[in-house]
């Protein structure tokens, strides 16, 4: 059975040092894809844009800098009440967002109640050959990391 957790947060989209504006962003987590979190950015005048990335990346970004490649997340200051900076990159194009940590932590807490961290393999949809192979690789990585 497919279950999900959703939340809407307001993020500051920093266009430049002089220009920023607040946008609604939907956070979504589904048991059918237990390793991923999706963020849908509702930018004024544009179609919504959705990014999917590892839930572990978002969890790690709450307490310290994390991310390789296109997504980087880090607290903007000390303490659990600090804001989170989220940098997304495609080629040379970058977007930087800032969001308060408390609503993100509350969202992550709800995802953990739905699928506890480290238990994702038990919830994923591994029906097809490619999915089964990928699930096997992810399971092996989990065992090696633990």
Task: Give the chain's domains with CATH numbers.
Answer: 4-119 (2.30.31.20)
Instruction: Write the pLDDT tens digit of every residue in 58-104.
Output: 999 999 999 988 999 999 987 667 899 999 998 888 999 999 999 99
| Helix and strand totals (H; E) in the chain | 3, 7
**14 neighbors 98 (Cβ within 8 angstroms):** yes
Instruction: Write the pLDDT tens digit of every residue in 112-126.
Output: 999 888 878 777 655
Instruction: Write the pLDDT tens digit of every residue in 1-37.
Output: 579 999 999 999 998 889 999 999 999 999 989 999 9
In which residue are the tokens 């310290």 written?
64
The CA-atom distances, in angstroms, between 48 and each of 43, 45, 51, 138, 142 are: 6, 9, 10, 30, 33
Phi-psi region of 16 (alpha: psi -120 to 50; beta: other; left: phi over 0): beta
Edge-to-edge strand list for the sheet holding 49-54: 49-54, 36-41, 20-30, 4-14, 93-100, 83-90, 71-75
Q: What is the mean pLDDT of the chain?
A: 85
Torsion of CA 101, 139, 53, 89, to 10 degrees: 110
Q: How confident is the model at residue 56 (pLDDT cuts 50, 70, 90)?
A: very high
Whole-model pTM?
0.80
């Amino acid at each position: 059975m497919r279950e999900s957790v959703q939340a809407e947060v307001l993020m500051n989209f920093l266009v430049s040092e002089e220009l920023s504006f607040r946008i609604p962003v939907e956070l979504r987590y589904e048991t059918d894809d237990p390793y991923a979190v999706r963020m849908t950015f509702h930018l004024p005048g544009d179609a919504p844009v959705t990014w999917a990335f590892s839930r572990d990346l978002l969890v790690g970004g709450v307490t310290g800098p994390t991310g390789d490649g296109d997504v980087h997340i880090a607290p903007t200051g000390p303490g659990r009440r600090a804001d989170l900076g989220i940098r997304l990159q495609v080629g040379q194009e970058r977007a930087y967002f800032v969001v308060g940590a408390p609503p993100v932590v509350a969202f992550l807490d709800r995802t953990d109640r739905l699928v506890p961290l480290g238990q994702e393999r038990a919830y994923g949809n591994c029906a097809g050959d490619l999915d089964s192979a990928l699930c096997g690789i992810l399971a092996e990585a989990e065992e090696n990391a633990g």
